[in-house]
């Protein structure tokens, strides 16, 4: 079956997942994590992509971004992917592919999904047993949002600014939200939509987007349609 064209609309947030081939590690040392972050920062600026959040895991990474043009996101991801593979292969004395095919992405509704997606990403290292708390993991944007450091890669979304009237209030509100966690159902929806390449949001959000997209936005139901009830 032919794969669907990737969803990419300027001005809307997108959740990105890029995995290592066969789930192999894509980092071998702390320096590797920093190289990838530097490449993302460089090419986000060149391509016109605002990076709202990120987390780098051992064998994959997540980004939450908003592109300013239709080709901004693919240009950024292509440049980052190619340059990081060259760096990693040279440093490890290896050759061949590093990525598990093309990156996966979902177009998400900001009002219903963006802050939850940020918390979901921040909690990935905790779920994986890499850190006892999101604050303890150095390779995510969580530290920026809770006031531990200033991360020049990060461009906060306007919804984050709405969490409080002062920096301290926003940081405390966001930290509380991450500590509260993300419901399992919403975690599943975020993962499945991104791996499948679907839009994630309420029915009105999807309906309003459809005129601008030449492919379906949500996964169709498998199986026979339900039988209509017979009249009395």
Report DSSP letters for 6-75, one per residue.
PP--TTS-EEEEEEBGGG--S-SSHHHHHHHHHHHHHHHHHHTEEEEEEEE-SSEEEEEEEESSTTHHHH
Please report whether residue 129 resides in a domain.
yes
Looking at the predicted structure, is the pLDDT value of residue 229 above 70? no
pLDDT digits (tens, 9 = 90+) for 119-133: 999 999 999 999 999
In CATH, what number is assigned to the domain containing residue 172? 3.30.70.1290
Please report whether residue 157 resides in a domain.
yes
d(CA 207, CA 216): 10
Please report whether residue 229 resides in a domain.
no
> pTM of this prediction?
0.90
pLDDT digits (tens, 9 = 90+) for 170-202: 999 999 999 999 999 999 999 999 998 888 999
What is the tally of structural domains in the chain? 1
Range of the domain at 49: 14-201
Please report whether residue 216 resides in a domain.
no
Looking at the predicted structure, is the pLDDT value of residue 1 above 80? no
Instruction: Give the confidence band of 4 by pLDDT, cuts at 50, 70, 90.
Output: low
d(CA 117, CA 228): 37
């Amino acid at each position: 079956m032919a794969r669907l064209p990737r969803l990419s609309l300027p001005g809307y947030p997108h959740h990105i997942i890029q995995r290592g081939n066969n789930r192999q590690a894509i980092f071998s040392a702390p320096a590797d994590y920093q190289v990838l972050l530097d490449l993302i920062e460089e090419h986000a600026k060149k391509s016109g992509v605002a990076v709202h959040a990120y987390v780098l895991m051992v064998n994959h990474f997540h980004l939450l971004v908003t592109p300013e043009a239709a080709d901004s996101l693919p240009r950024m991801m292509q440049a980052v992917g190619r340059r990081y593979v060259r760096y990693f292969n040279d440093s490890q004395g290896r050759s061949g592919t590093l990525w598990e095919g093309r990156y996966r992405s979902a177009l998400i509704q900001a009002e219903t999904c963006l802050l939850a997606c940020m918390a979901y990403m921040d909690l990935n290292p905790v779920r994986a047993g890499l850190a006892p708390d999101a604050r303890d993991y150095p390779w995510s944007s969580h530290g920026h949002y809770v006031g531990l450091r200033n991360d020049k890669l990060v461009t906060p979304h306007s919804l984050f600014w709405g969490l409080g009237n002062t920096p301290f209030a926003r940081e405390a509100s966001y930290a509380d939200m991450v500590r509260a966690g993300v419901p399992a159902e919403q975690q599943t929806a975020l993962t499945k939509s991104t791996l499948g390449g679907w839009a994630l949001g309420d029915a009105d959000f999807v309906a309003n987007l459809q005129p601008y997209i030449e492919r379906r936005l949500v996964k169709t139901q498998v199986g026979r349609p339900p039988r209509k009830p017979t009249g009395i």
